[in-house]
Amino acid sequence: MSDAPNARPSHPGDDENHATPDGLATTPTHAARAFDIRTIIGAVLGIYGVVLLVMGLVGAGETAGRHADSEVNLWTGVALTAAALSFLLWVRYRPLLVSTRSEAHIEPTD
């Protein structure tokens, strides 16, 4: 850390109080990504999407004579993979911020 008056901590949890641009103190926060529901949904959709993509590419020749919609696995796999990517990008660029301080330590004001 430098001695400059406007130096920011290297990690949001390193300082007890953070100041916003208007000078108000806020509680420290961190991004919670591992157990965010968007991560779980994106992973499940991605797994199913990749499986359907592989089945659509490998099994496309076997069902070509049977149905007009023989590429339904392929297109559903593409759609599910795109949805999974959108969920995972959503988590990446708009993370869920969780306060690192316990709410029990805040004293009520009357």
Each domain of the chain, given as residue ranges in start order, spans: 36-96
* Residue 80 · residue 49 · CB < 8 Å: yes
Q: Comparing 97 with 78, which gets the higher pLDDT?
A: 78
Strand partners, 97: 31
Condensed to tens digits (0 to 9), the pLDDT of residues 36-58 reads 899 999 999 999 999 999 998 88
Residue 108 — very low, low, confident or very high, per pLDDT cuts 50/70/90? low
Three-state SS for 18?
strand
Three-state SS for 88?
helix
21: left (phi over 0), alpha (psi -120 to 50) or beta: alpha
Condensed to tens digits (0 to 9), the pLDDT of residues 1-36 reads 455 555 544 544 444 444 556 655 555 666 676 678
